[in-house]
Amino acid sequence: MSRDFNTIGFAPGSQSKKWIDDVCYEMDTETDTLTMTTQEDIYFFCLQNGAPYLINNWGEKKVRFVGKVFGKLALLLLISLILYYFLRDRIVFPYNMTWLFILLTIGVIIFSYFVYDQLTSVADFYINSRCRKCGKDFAYEEFKKPLTRKVSTSENYEITTTKYHKCRYCGDEDLRIQTNYIDCKGKKEKLTKNACKCCGKENSMKEYRRPDVHTTYDTVETIRFYKCLDCGYQAITVENVYSPGPM
């Protein structure tokens, strides 16, 4: 597990933007709204280039069906592995074969899940890349990196992702915008009163609103909001705790 920690200050009434790595933090001190923007990587999956071949030969339904079969196989083997864990005292494998059996099962689970994920992606890609104007298949391509914008107020946390697609045949542009609201307000810390970096007054920085605690599959990000009781100077702390992640 690793951790990084940053503090960003915003002078009263300012609209300044600050960068940490590839995230832009912008605090509107009037409306108490924090906006974070990031450019994401363009989506690509392993079988993407092979998708037209698979769809032409099998069709969307068969690709999806075979994907589901592998998905169910992965799930079934995972359940067997869990069952084995509980019944391990009653099931005896020949000498030294237990670990071989377990490793083999884990290998097949990973492989089956990979096939399920890729074939599902092929079928979805086929549906999503058909041009709505000229009707050609595998036509839309992302021509610009997707943009993620997170807007945090004391009440809400909104994530908007914009993807930019263009048809490689007729040039039709298709903007895909997805907005999610998440409930991620955590608890304030009990005692945190520090000196203000702007006016220098001791014990004047107070955590004035609930933090945003945003969890993804391998990271927990906590953003805390502080304000100087004396001069109105604002600061946020951004803490990221990374877990080792999936295998």
Q: Where on the chain is the footprint of Zn ion (CB under 5 A)?
A: 131, 133-134, 139, 167, 169-170, 172, 196, 198-199, 228, 230-231, 233
Nearer to Zn ion, 52 or 71 (CB): 52
Residue carrying structure tokens 């000229």: 134
Give dist(CA 209, CA 214) in Å, integer.
16
Nearer to Zn ion, 17 or 132 (CB): 132
User: Minimum distance between the CB of residue 114 and Zn ion, rounded to whole angstroms?
Assistant: 32
Give dist(CA 223, CA 195) in Å, integer.
19
Nearer to Zn ion, 130 or 149 (CB): 130
User: Minimum distance between the CB of residue 242 and Zn ion, rounded to whole angstroms?
Assistant: 33
User: Minimum distance between the CB of residue 211 and Zn ion, rounded to whole angstroms?
Assistant: 20
User: Minimum distance between the CB of residue 69 and Zn ion, rounded to whole angstroms?
Assistant: 33
Nearer to Zn ion, 125 or 233 (CB): 233
User: Minimum distance between the CB of residue 34 and Zn ion, rounded to whole angstroms?
Assistant: 19
User: Minimum distance between the CB of residue 24 and Zn ion, rounded to whole angstroms?
Assistant: 25
Nearer to Zn ion, 114 or 138 (CB): 138
Nearer to Zn ion, 58 or 169 (CB): 169
